[in-house]
Homo-oligomer: A and B are copies of this chain.
Amino acid sequence: VRLSRRYPFCASHRLHSAELTEEQNQAIYGKCNNPYGHGHNYILEVAVSGAVDAVTGRVVDLEKLDAFVRREVIARYDHRNLNEDCEEYLDQVPTTEVVGVEIAKRLSKQWANAMPGESARLERIRIWETDRNIFEVRV
């Protein structure tokens, strides 16, 4: 059984690469290159899969999962400027692709420690940047 659980967060970002010229940045990122940034209501979906526990009927302890995702992602990203507030984007562009890869790496690396006693495994994450743009990273 796979459980997908969604966590909204609001953040701003600016798409601009120090390795590109102004013209290239403008050509590649268009209005997303606006110097002062812009923002989104992101939705993060975390999918875990595993067997259903015969006693509890649960695939994962939801309280533990929520505490983990909130501490590692939501508390750090919600109501933040990704470029300025999050060290992982100091040297890479916070496109939603890159944000997805960072979240997947962070959750994946700490899964075993943060979710002791859980047999479920982290399977993938998805991020809705808008209703129209959805990114998925498999773990």
Contact A38 B134, CB 8 Å, known A17-B57, A55-B19, A95-B56: no
Interface size on A, residues (CB 8 A): 59
Q: A109 in the interface, Cβ–Cβ < 8 Å?
A: no
Binding site for B on A (CB under 8 A): 1-8, 10-13, 15, 17, 19-20, 28, 30-32, 34-41, 52, 55-59, 61, 63, 78-81, 83-85, 92-95, 97-98, 100-101, 130-137
Say yes or no: B135 contacts A2, CB within 8 Å: yes
> In the complex, what residues of B have CB within 8 A of residue A19's CB?
55
Q: Would you call B101 and A28 a contact (CB within 8 A)?
A: no
Query: Which B residues lie within 8 Å of A5 (CB)?
Result: 132-134
